[in-house]
Amino acid sequence: MDLIKNCDRYKNDPESVHELANLIIEKRKSEESQQLELEKIREKSKLDLEIARIRANDKDNNTEVSCNDSSLDSLIKSIRTHLQ
């Protein structure tokens, strides 16, 4: 911080230096937010893929899982709500 305060540009125009610093901070926050959102989307995609695999496996085995389907649907809704 002292390095910035001792800089000629800061001494001549401290407001623009503060503005630049704020822009950098906002950009980093935005990038972090976008990264978190991307991670949520990836996790949701993984869960959706796993659910699709489970359902495909159940169909291949020709098992009746009507009560399990409702439980699975409840689990899916719960996970999606949690991810949002």
Give tens-digit pLDDT for 2-12. 777 777 777 78
Give tens-digit pLDDT for 20-62. 889 999 999 999 999 999 999 999 999 999 988 888 887 766 5
Report d(CA 42, CA 48) in Å as an integer: 10
**Strand, coil or helix: 71:** helix
pTM of this prediction? 0.53
Find out whether 4 and 10 touch, Cβ atoms under 8 Å.
yes
CA dihedral 25, 26, 32, 34 (to 10 degrees): -160
